[in-house]
Chain A
Amino acid sequence: MLKDFGIIGIFVLGGLFFTGAALLTNWIIRPKEHHNENATSTFECGLDTRGPTWVQFRINYFLYALIFVVFDIETVFLYPWAVRFNSLGVFALVEMIIFIAILALGLWYAWKKGALEWK
């Protein structure tokens, strides 16, 4: 048992050595240039941010996200059921109707509570 952990230890040491060696080699052979502005700016990942990024989001975003989950879950289960529809039979059909009814109830509840309104 302890011997097996020794093998893991060797792997860990090897891993540390290789990552360290790679970083060290890069550091030695890389061109020593000063940073310019373009190198540190955001690139390929959207626009530059304006103003502080720590702002409060409206709670409505999260409500929409939660309602999205309703549809998401629905799809996750509907798709495999639809693919195997013929072999699953009537029992699965009834189960699916109950399942969708419960999700529809959740959507109706959220709607009625005004979660879809942007106030």
Chain B
Amino acid sequence: MDFSAVTIEILVALLGLVLLVTGLLLPPDHKKANGYIAVVGLLGILAFSLSGDAGRSGTFLYGLYTLDSLSKYFKEIFMIAAILVILMSLSYTKRFREGKGEYFSILLFALLGMMVMVSSNDFITLYIGLELMTISFVILTAFDRSSLKSSEAGVKYVLLSAMSSAVLLYGLSIFYGLSGTTEYAGFITCLQSGGLGPALILAIVMVLAGFGFKISAVPFHMWSPDIYEGAPTPITAFLATGSKAAGFAVLIRLLLQVLPSQHVNFSGIIIMLAVLTIIVGNLIAIPQKNIKRMLAFSSIAHAGYILLGLVAFTGMGVGAMLYYIFIYIFANAGAFASVTALSNITGSDEIEDFGGMWKRSPLVTAVLMISLLSMAGIPPAAGFVGKFYLFASIIKEGYVWLALVAIGMSVVSLYYYVMVIRVMLTGQVKSDEPVTVPASLKTVMVVSSAATIFLGVYAGPLTSWTSSVASMFVK
């Protein structure tokens, strides 16, 4: 058997197990070292993956598992997101009463679940990856045992994700019932013979609903504000970036690789999802007082923008999605790192408590500003380029009205992003106590805002990478 297609996954699993051991062996005051081990290990795995020694393509277990440029791209994205989240967590774990050692290990297993999801070439493998990710996230969401909100968020997440999993599984079981196989390859051949009727459409709707939950598309978005608010802030960042990116990765693979013959049947659903998600996400974000809730609704709106790439249903659309997900991770990491830093100081996530932060910590203010402006799509931040590619890809397919809706809502979003910036620059200063930001958080903040600016000014290398990945979906 050829293990080269799963080297990355094996290494991540190994690192997770090693962290479990070191987490127990380290003395109680030094559990933080686990985080450093995780960061160093992941950086090594990321370098190994980027260097290309990990293999470029191949299959494993008789085609149940596949490594191709799409899954490789997403795995590298997940690893970057995980590294940023672990760095964010280093200063946050002191809030946890226990389990400081296990925290990083579970985080790595969530990462492993995402990797299995994007690489799976079979419905059962896909589901196992999905559940590995979801269950790890449930534990992480409820990790702050001293906080009632965190436990509540955990319970909500486990119940709601169980329901979405049930719907998804029902859809997948209909796929199996129609084709007699759980493998994508066999399923595609079965689709080509045609004539599967209304049951297939029902199954597609159910699968879309299941993954609509993961990417928090309206009307499956209800869970995300509560859970984003209650979860520990680094985990919120990982939910908003990694989990969402994994959902999109699977949607890209399922819709463009497995079900393209059914495009006429589901294109309308995706357009509706995208329009609703963009409009509802942006409008409900306006009145939010809590920054984590505001970012939750903004991340719903961003899911809508990214869905536009699936509306376009072309190589260009996928390329735009890949680019947008990449820069979205950096913008979110920057924003959540600043929020972590601010809430470490003020002990609150309310926007009004950030008043006059500009005087107390210019760095935090600048990073949050760059991240929010990138999300709003203001040049030179990378969000502008990302939105430009997405909107261009749908205009090219003739959806001018949809692009106008998205642009209009993007203008609306500017309002609530700028409101936060306004409070930070002109709001009432609550105290003059100087602000100290831990070095690990500073690293995340500097790296993510530098990446956001750099990719906005010089997008060439990344776009050539994303378009070469997307070229497998030429239509």
The chain A residues found within 8 Å of chain B, CB to CB, are 1, 102, 105, 109, 112-113
Inter-subunit contact B21/A105 (CB<8 Å): yes
Q: What 1/0 mask marks residues of chain B from 18 to 62 whose CB sits below 8 Å from any chain A CB?
A: 001100100000000000000000000000000000000000000
Cα–Cα, bound, A105→B108 (Å): 17
Q: Which residue of A lies closest to B21 (CB)?
A: A105
Cβ of B21: which chain A residues have Cβ within 8 Å of it?
Answer: 105, 109
Q: Name which residue of chain B comes closest to A1, CB basis.
A: B197
Residues in chain A near residue B20, CB distance under 8 A = 105, 109
State whether the Cβ of B17 lies closer than 8 Å to any Cβ in chain A: yes
Nearest CB on A from B145, distance (A): 14
Q: Are A112 and B17 in contact (CB under 8 A)?
A: no
Residue of A nearest to B197 (CB): A1
A105 partner residues in chain B, CB cutoff 8 A: 17, 20-21
B460 nearest CB across to chain A (Å): 44
Within the assembled complex, what's the spacing in Å between the Cα atoms of A113 and B24? 8
- Residues of chain B within 8 A (CB-CB) of A113 are 24
Interface contact B17-A102, CB-CB below 8 Å: yes
Closest chain B residue to A95, Cβ basis: B1
Point out residues on B near A: beta carbons under 8 Å: 17, 20-21, 24, 197
* B17 contacts across to A, CB distance below 8 A: 102, 105
Determine the main DSSP class of B at the interface with A: helix
Instruction: Report the separation of the CA atoms of residues A112 and B24 in the bound assembly, to the nearest whole angstrom.
Output: 8
The residues of B that contact A112 with a CB separation of less than 8 Å are: 24
Task: Please name the residue on chain A nearest to B24 by beta carbon.
Answer: A112
Q: How far is the CA of A53 from the CA of B24 in the complex (A)?
A: 38
Q: What is the CB-to-nearest-CB distance from A119 to chain B, in angstroms, rounded to a whole number?
A: 16
A102 to B20, CA, bound (A): 11
Most buried by B among A102, A109, A112, A113: A109
Q: What residues of chain A lie closer than 8 Å to B197, measured between beta carbons?
A: 1
Nearest B residue (CB) for A105: B17
> How far, in angstroms, from A109 to B197 measured CA to CA in the complex?
51
Docked complex Cα distance between A102 and B13 (Å)? 11
Rounded to whole Å, the gap between the CB of A116 and the closest CB of chain B is: 15
**From residue B101, how far is it (CB to closest CB) to chain A in Å?**
10
By Cβ-Cβ distance, the 6 closest A-B pairs, closest first, are A112-B24, A109-B20, A105-B17, A109-B24, A102-B17, A105-B21
Distance of A99 from chain B, by nearest CB (Å)? 13
- Whole-angstrom distance from the CB of B13 to the nearest CB of chain A? 9
CB-nearest residue of chain A relative to B1? A91
Q: How far is the CB of A7 from chain B (nearest CB, A)?
A: 18
Given A109-B20, A112-B24, A113-B24, 7 further pairs, Cβ under 8 A: A1-B197, A102-B17, A105-B17, A105-B20, A105-B21, A109-B21, A109-B24
Question: From A113, which residue of chain B is reached at the shortest CB distance?
Answer: B24
Provide the bound-state CA to CA distance between A113 and B197, in Å. Answer: 54
Distance in angstroms from A2 CB to nearest chain B CB is 12
The distance in angstroms between the C-alpha atoms of A105 and B21, with both chains bound, is 8
In the assembled complex, the Cα of A102 lies from the Cα of B17 at a distance in Å of 8
Distance A109 CA – B23 CA, assembled complex (angstroms): 10
Contacts of B24 in A (CB 8 A): 109, 112-113
**What is the chain A residue whose CB lies nearest that of B18?**
A105
* List of B residues within 8 angstroms of A102 by Cβ: 17
Q: Would you list 10 pairs from A and B whose C-beta atoms are within 8 A, ordered by A residue?
A: A1-B197, A102-B17, A105-B17, A105-B20, A105-B21, A109-B20, A109-B21, A109-B24, A112-B24, A113-B24
B128 to chain A, nearest CB (A): 15
Task: Report the minimum CB–CB distance from B174 to chain A (whole Å).
Answer: 16
CA distance A1 to B199 in the complex (A): 13
Residues in chain B near residue A1, CB distance under 8 A:
197
> How many angstroms between the C-alpha atoms of A46 and B17 in the bound complex?
44
Give bound CA distance, A5 to B369, whole Å: 62
CA distance A113 to B105 in the complex (A): 15
Q: What is the bound-complex CA distance between A113 and B20, given in angstroms?
A: 11
A29–chain B nearest beta-carbon distance, Å: 43
Provide the residues of chain B in CB contact with A109, threshold 8 Å. Answer: 20-21, 24
Chain A: which residue is nearest B13 at the CB level? A102
Q: For the complex, what is the distance from the CA of A102 to the CA of B10, rounded to whole Å? A: 13
Cα separation A34 to B449 with both chains bound (whole Å) = 81
CB distance from B389 to the nearest CB of A (A): 43
The CA of A113 and the CA of B17, in the complex, are separated in Å by 15
User: With A and B bound together, what is the CA distance between A105 and B17 in angstroms?
Assistant: 8
Per the bound structure, the CA–CA distance linking A1 and B197 in Å amounts to 11
Which residue of chain B is the closest to A112 with respect to CB atoms?
B24
Interchain nearest-CB distance for B45 vs A (Å): 19
Alpha-carbon separation in the docked complex, A109 to B21 (Å) = 7
The smallest beta-carbon distance between B135 and chain A, in angstroms, is 14
Cα A109 to Cα B430 in complex, Å, equals 47
In whole Å, how far is B54's beta carbon from the nearest beta carbon of chain A? 20
The distance from the CB of B204 to the nearest CB of chain A, in whole angstroms, is 20
Q: How far is the CA of A105 from the CA of B20 in the complex (A)?
A: 9
Q: Shortest distance in angstroms between B280's beta carbon and chain A's nearest beta carbon?
A: 39
Q: A112 CB to closest chain B CB, in angstroms? A: 5
Residue in A closest to B17 when the chains form the complex, CB atoms:
A105
A109 to B17, CA, bound (A): 10
Tell me how far the C-beta of A79 lies from the nearest C-beta in chain B, rounded to whole angstroms. Answer: 22
